[in-house]
Chains A and B, each alone.
Chain A
Amino acid sequence: MSIIEVRNLYKSFNGVEILKNVNLKVEEGERIAIIGGSGGGKSVFLRCLELLEIPDNGEIFINGQEITAPNADIDKIRQNMGMVYQKFHLFQHLNVMENLTLAPIKLLKMSKAEAEKKAIGWLEKVSLTSKKFSYPNELSGGQQQRIAICRSLMMNPKLMLFDEPTSALDPTMVGEVLATIRMLSKIKLTMIIVTHEMNFAKEVADRILFFADHGIYEQGTPKQIFDNPQKPLTVAFIHKLKFFHYDIYDKNFDLIQMQGKIWEFAEKYGLNRKQTFNLQHCCEESIFEIFDGVYKTDEKINISIDIEYSESNKQTEIKIASIGRQYNPFDVDIDDDDTEHLGIMIINKIAQNVTYEYNDNVNLIKIQI
């Protein structure tokens, strides 16, 4: 039996669809990392599992019990699940020891002594025994998060959900929290972690879910997702692709404006001066070659330029599509003092690789820099 089973989950807020037909099965002991851009519904999905958000449609089974059923004993089911929040949410009016022991004493009817003994056990594991009488506001973010993790573990959950546990922390404190979660991955505990720490996800998870387009867009082992993603949005996310787009419909288009926009794009993602100039040159030269080759004097012009920049490997690719008759500007013989094809010479010099194809009335030039 799967520890979590989600069937046809739908969730929207004020008519904006967040999750659409999400299905998932998680087996006991599995460690799952959820990655994806913001607004992809990762956190909402996690909150739906805890029924902190009520799904519009669909069923969620935790350990075989349907938590979405109208007569479900939600409080009882939740006792088996731990949840760790981005902002810790420790009980501010209680000290660390009371934070840890409140739930076991009240809900599991544990004796105070027993609960405190158990709390000390967990505090030792996260090396915070010295803080047992401190109040949450006296602790650093990293310490608070470690206590929050212990607070959940005090209930002996079968399943732990982490909602971006390190996103609200100083970079210096991320490590200690990740180390704690890593420690948990050694005991048999099912975990779902929403995270932006890609290396951590790669190392600790058995399965990666990439959330985009209202649900689980692609899933697989860390190797599959990080080294060989299959679908376009996953590729774009993993390689941190950035996009630029510009359309031209007129020979007297605003060249300066286009160059300005390319410059803005390059500036935004930290391309250096040379890369920026190269981009601008390649675009400009290609456009004028296409003007001359593809279109006659009075013909309607339709050129679109797409630039793709990968932040992870610093590669840039320019795609120039022009609708019109077939013409490959690079299919020319060039000798050294040819002045007519100066543009082509420049591009050839800058580019690592240039390809050309013609399909359905569209000339497509790809230039890799």
Chain B
Amino acid sequence: MIYEIFIKNDAWLTILNGFLITVEISAFSLICGTILGTIVCFCRMSKFTVLSILAKIYISIVRGSPVLMLLMLLFYGVFAGSGLSPLFVAVVTFSLHTAAYVAELLRSAIMATDIGQVEAARTLGFSKWQAFRFITLPQIAHIAKPVYQSIIVNLIQWTSVVGYVTITDLTRVINNIASRTMQPMITITGGLLIYLSISYIVYGVFTLTNRSSTK
């Protein structure tokens, strides 16, 4: 039966496609979200009050509302009739979503670093950039790593709502198969296991980088 549900009649191919869509949305959103988040964090901590307030408003709105609402707002509202592909809109949505979390994460990591160490580096003769590169950045990375890891895993899980805007991601595929085969219990458990394994791959990658950095 498992063969019939997951493999037969190219079912495996459909699942693989859905899986790739999920990975694609997650990966692009992660990259764009991290870059955007860095910029938002920069604004949030900027000396210009206007920038800082705008960033603060952005962060509180995005973090305070369900990502599905944001997705529907962009797809059916802001970008309606613009002809943009649903995939693109999803990536934009999840980038915006991730950016807010990354910005707050970076801000707390930066605030946890010790300005005294930067001064110590400067008085040794390091330039501002060198002090950031050799002292602040490695420490921010170290502090932010565990939380960043869970931001990634959360992001992957949140992408499961893109079915609402006509994208056939892993969740949608699993759902379709479940209705077709009338075997929701087994099918959905299988889908769950796939999500679970993606999460553990992410955790695994982080553990590996931790090990290599402490060596």
Contact = CB atoms under 8 A, between A and B. Distances in A.
Interface residues of B, number: 18
A75 B135 CA distance: 16
Contacts of A50: 123
Contact of B125 (A75, A87, A93): A75
Contact of B119 (A89, A92, A107): A89
Interface string B28-50: 00000000000000000000000
Contact of B117 (A82, A91, A106): A91
A83 interface: yes
Interface string A68-100: 000000011011011101010111110000000
A152 interface: yes
A89 B139 contact: no
Nearest to B124: A103
A34 interface: no
B148 interface: no
A45 to B, nearest CB: 15
Contacts of A76: 125
Interface string B122-143: 1111110010001100110010
Contacts of A52: 119, 122-123
A354 interface: no
Contacts of A79: 124-125
Given A52-B119, A91-B117, A102-B134, A78 B139 contact: no
B130 A106 contact: yes
Nearest to B118: A89
A93 B123 contact: no
Interface residues of A, number: 24
B134 A107 contact: no
Given A92-B114, A93-B142, A78 B119 contact: no
Nearest to B130: A106
A362 B134 CA distance: 68
A3 B193 CA distance: 70
B133 to A, nearest CB: 9
Interface of B is mostly: helix
Contacts of B77: none
Contact of A92 (B125, B126, B139): B139
A84 B129 CA distance: 22
Contacts of A103: 121, 124-126
Nearest to A108: B125
A75 B126 contact: yes
A301 interface: no
A259 B126 CA distance: 60
B140 to A, nearest CB: 10
B116 interface: yes
A171 B48 CA distance: 44
B125 A83 contact: no
Given A93-B138, A106-B134, A78 B120 contact: no
Q: Nearest 7 A-B pairs (CB), nearest first?
A: A79-B125, A89-B116, A89-B120, A83-B123, A103-B124, A78-B125, A89-B117
Interface of B: 114, 116-117, 119-127, 130, 134-135, 138-139, 142
18 contacts: A75-B126, A78-B125, A81-B123, A85-B116, A85-B119, A90-B117, A90-B120, A91-B135, A92-B139, A93-B135, A93-B139, A102-B134, A103-B121, A103-B126, A107-B124, A107-B125, A152-B123, A155-B124
